[in-house]
Structure 1
Amino acid sequence: MTPPTGPRWQKPVGMLIILALIAIWCVGIVSLAPWIGQWHPAAQLLFYVAAGVVWLWVLPMRRMLSWMETGKWRADRERR
C-alpha cells in the first residue's frame, strides 16, 4: 500500500484538537489555582508537572499524534 501523495486532512484537524485540549487544560488549571496556590511550592510544581504530563501526553496526545501520522486511532501491533 502506497502512502497518500496529497495533503492529509488529519494533520490540520489534529492540530486544532491539540490546541483545544491545551485550552481546556489551561482553563481547568486556572480554575484550580485558588486551592493549589495554598500548597507548598514544591507540591505545586509536582502537581503541575504531573497534570501536564498525564493530561496532555499520556491520555490524548500520544494517540492523537499517531492518528495524525497514520490515520489510525490505535497502532496495529504485531502478533507473535
Structure 2
Amino acid sequence: MAYRNNCYGCPPVSPTMTAPAQQVVQNVYHPTVVPVVHPVNIVKKHHCVPVYQHCTVVTVTDEMANVSNYKSRKNRRRARSK
C-alpha cells in the first residue's frame, strides 16, 4: 500500500523532520475590582427672578343722597293720591 502525502502521489520523504515547538500564548483575563473615586462638586447658584404680585387698591366713597329728592318724591305721591 502506497502512502500518499499529497494529491500527486509523491512518496514520503525520509527521515521525518520535526519543526521546533511553537509557543502559543492564551490570554485569560480575570476581573479585578479597582475602586475609582469620582469627586463631584455641586454649586448652587441663587438667582433673583421677578414674580409679579398684583395688588388691588379699593377706594370706597360714601355719598349722602340729596334729601330734597326724597321729599319731592314724597310730594309727588301725595299729589297723585289727591
* Same fold? TM cut 0.5: no
Q: Tell which structure's C-alpha radius of gyration is larger.
A: 2
Q: Which has the higher helix share?
A: 1
User: Which bin holds the TM-score, normalised by the shorter protein?
Assistant: under 0.3
State the TM-score, normalized to the length of structure 2: 0.22
Q: Which has the higher contact order (CA 8 A, sep 6+)?
A: 1
